[in-house]
């Protein structure tokens, strides 16, 4: 527990995760490409590094950026973590971004050559879920790497599953996000259908949430669907990346995924409508437009099941 922890990437997810580690007393130094986003973490006890190479002397480095090309750039790129003049290097990298199996395997090979262990550790949950203490990790790689990281993972999230060697956690996370996309599109379609037939969205979702089909997810998206509170949690841009990773995996393993294909194009439509960096729950708005329905907030107090 005396480990020096480095943290790369404090976007929506990375910030909330690093904040939990800092508040739990972890000795953490953060670096973010846009430094201003990292600075408020100093109030929670984190140190802010000027250069990513400053983190090479840490024992463990967590990474939470966007896509595989970004992971490669911040770790093994020409100005990345391992590009410094000194021989300092972490013992373990815990890579949490949602990336492809192939990208993860390339990273593992590059780190193996340098004697650095890799734990693939993508997550389920958004920033609000992290703050509510409900995030979950799915991990793969050497069992010893998981055991070493577990005390730190537990400072961030109550749940961390180990699914085996290599890149298995990546495929689990890709499956999870295909499900997220398909469920969100389906929830948008049925909510608009119920509304056009005369049922207010809050009444419809209250029933769904209390039914056997309700879930943590349907509950925490209810304020967005009812009151059009579309604070950005996760973007169509990132969801399209995950749907594409799912469809690529479907081709590789020869699994037909018709629902995933349709949903991928629904997400693409959102992007074409200029909503790439909005919240993905605006899939509701796209379905409403396609149905000739002008959405207005219902202004009904509804819980999100988290707070």
Binding site for ligand NAP (CB under 6 A): 9-14, 32-34, 37, 64-66, 70, 73-74, 97-98, 123, 126, 233-234, 238
Residue facing ligand NAP at closest CB distance: 11
Q: Do residues 149 and 94 lie in contact, with contact meaning Cβ atoms separated by under 8 Å? A: yes
Instruction: Pick between residue 13 and residue 192 the one whose CB is nearest to ligand NAP.
Output: 13
Six-digit token pair at 21?
């580690």
Whole-Å CA distances, 20 to 127, 128, 288? 11, 12, 38
Instruction: Pick between residue 72 and residue 194 the one whose CB is nearest to ligand NAP.
Output: 72
> 157-173: string of b/e by CB count within 10 Å (b at 16+)?
beebebbeebbbbbbbb
Instruction: Pick between residue 181 and residue 204 the one whose CB is nearest to ligand NAP.
Output: 181
Smallest distance, ligand NAP to C-beta of residue 20, A: 14
Smallest distance, ligand NAP to C-beta of residue 130, A: 9
> Which one, of 221, 179, 229, lies nearest residue 204 by Cα?
221
Instruction: Pick between residue 10 and residue 117 the one whose CB is nearest to ligand NAP.
Output: 10
Instruction: Pick between residue 70 and residue 244 the one whose CB is nearest to ligand NAP.
Output: 70
Smallest distance, ligand NAP to C-beta of residue 76, A: 12
Smallest distance, ligand NAP to C-beta of residue 176, A: 9
Instruction: Pick between residue 115 and residue 274 the one whose CB is nearest to ligand NAP.
Output: 274
Smallest distance, ligand NAP to C-beta of residue 121, A: 11
Instruction: Pick between residue 52 and residue 192 the one whose CB is nearest to ligand NAP.
Output: 52
Smallest distance, ligand NAP to C-beta of residue 194, A: 26
**Interacting residues of 211 by C-beta distance below 8 A, sequence separation 6+:** none
| C-alpha dihedral sign at 48, 54, 59, 60 | positive
């Amino acid at each position: 527990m005396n480990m020096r922890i480095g943290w790369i990437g404090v976007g929506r997810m990375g910030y909330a995760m690093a904040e939990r580690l800092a508040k739990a007393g972890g000795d953490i130094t953060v670096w973010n490409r846009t430094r201003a986003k990292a600075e408020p973490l100093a109030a929670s006890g984190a140190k802010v590094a000027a250069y990513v190479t400053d983190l090479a002397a840490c024992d463990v480095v967590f990474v939470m950026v966007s896509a595989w090309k970004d992971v490669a750039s911040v770790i093994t790129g020409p100005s990345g973590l391992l590009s410094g003049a000194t021989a300092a290097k972490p013992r373990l990298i815990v890579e949490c971004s949602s990336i492809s199996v192939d990208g993860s395997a390339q990273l593992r090979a590059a780190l193996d050559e340098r004697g650095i262990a890799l734990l693939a550790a993508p997550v389920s949950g958004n920033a609000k879920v992290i703050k509510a203490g409900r995030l979950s990790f799915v991990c793969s790689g050497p069992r010893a790497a998981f055991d070493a990281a577990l005390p730190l993972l537990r400072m961030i999230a109550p749940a961390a599953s180990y699914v085996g060697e290599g890149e298995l956690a990546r495929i689990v996370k890709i499956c999870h996000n295909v499900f997220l996309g398909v469920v969100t599109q389906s929830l948008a379609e049925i909510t608009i259908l119920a509304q056009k037939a005369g049922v207010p969205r809050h009444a419809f979702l209250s029933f769904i949430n209390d039914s056997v089909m309700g879930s943590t997810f349907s509950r925490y998206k209810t304020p967005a669907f009812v009151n059009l509170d579309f604070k950005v949690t996760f973007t169509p841009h990132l969801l399209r990346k995950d749907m594409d990773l799912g469809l690529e995996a479907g081709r590789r393993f020869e699994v037909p995924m018709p629902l995933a294909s349709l949903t991928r194009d629904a997400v693409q439509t959102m992007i074409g409508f200029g909503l790439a960096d909005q919240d993905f729950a605006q899939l509701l708005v796209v379905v409403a437009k396609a149905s000739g329905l002008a959405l207005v907030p219902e202004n009904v107090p509804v819980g999100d099941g988290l707070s």
